[in-house]
Amino acid sequence: MVVSVILIVLSLLRFSMEGSITTEVWAYLLLTPLPIAIALAPETQSDLESQSEVEEWGDSDLDELPKEAVDPLEAGFDVPVL
């Protein structure tokens, strides 16, 4: 909220110093809602919980994998011809 107030004050100062609305004044005014939105955005608990959950894999899952690769022709894949 403080950053938004600072941006508004900077915009008013630049407007009073230059006497007209310039692109810098508009930039300050257009950036004002961004810090307000960040300050008011709720932090969800589901995001925090999903980061802390880690699934552990056991060694028994690795034993089920095939030890040898299947021949591509037997699996139904075509052999590329260059």
11/18 Cα distance (integer angstroms): 11
d(CA 59, CA 45): 32
pTM exceeds 0.85, yes or no: no
> What residues contact residue 22 under an 8 Å CB cut-off, 6+ apart?
14
- Percentages helix, strand, coil for the chain (3-state, rounded to 5) are 60, 0, 40
Taking only the tens of pLDDT, the chain with its 82 residues reads 888 889 889 999 999 998 888 899 999 889 999 988 888 887 755 555 566 666 676 666 566 666 677 787 787 788 777 7
Report the candidate in 11, 4, 9 with the shortest Cα–Cα distance to residue 27. 11
